[in-house]
Amino acid sequence: MSIEKFKPLHNYNVNSAERIKKNLDIPVIVVGGIRRLTDIENIIEMREIDFASMCRPFIIEPNIVDKFQERKAIESKCIDCAFCLLGVGTRKLKCYFGKIER
């Protein structure tokens, strides 16, 4: 028996945000699986969505925006394992991938 490897979803709210933006005259922010600089640029420039938001990438790399601006990184190190959620409420919020503490 083999277990299928989890494959994260990326940019999963972008299409909905694009439809919402076409019907509103206020800024629209999209969040959901955004991990790559090229995706952020595409969302803002091509899809005409006002802002792209990230959460988990900041947990593993608090300075990810600086890295993107300086072109020192083009993609977050976050692999969407959700291990950061293991500590919510009881431990420090951080990436726990490969470092589960007892």
**How many Cβ atoms sit within 10 Å of the Cβ of residue 52?**
21
**Per-domain residue ranges for the chain?**
14-87
- pTM comes to 0.82
How wide is the angle at C-alpha 63 spanned by C-alphas 62 and 67, nearest 5°? 145
Give the tens place of pLDDT for each residue, 57-90: 999 999 999 999 999 999 999 999 888 888 788 8
Q: What share of the chain is helix, strand, coil (3-state, %, to 5)?
A: 35, 10, 60
Please choose, from the candidates 89, 83, 38, 27, the residue with its C-alpha nearest in 3D space to the C-alpha of residue 59: 83
| Per-residue model confidence (pLDDT) at position 87 | 74
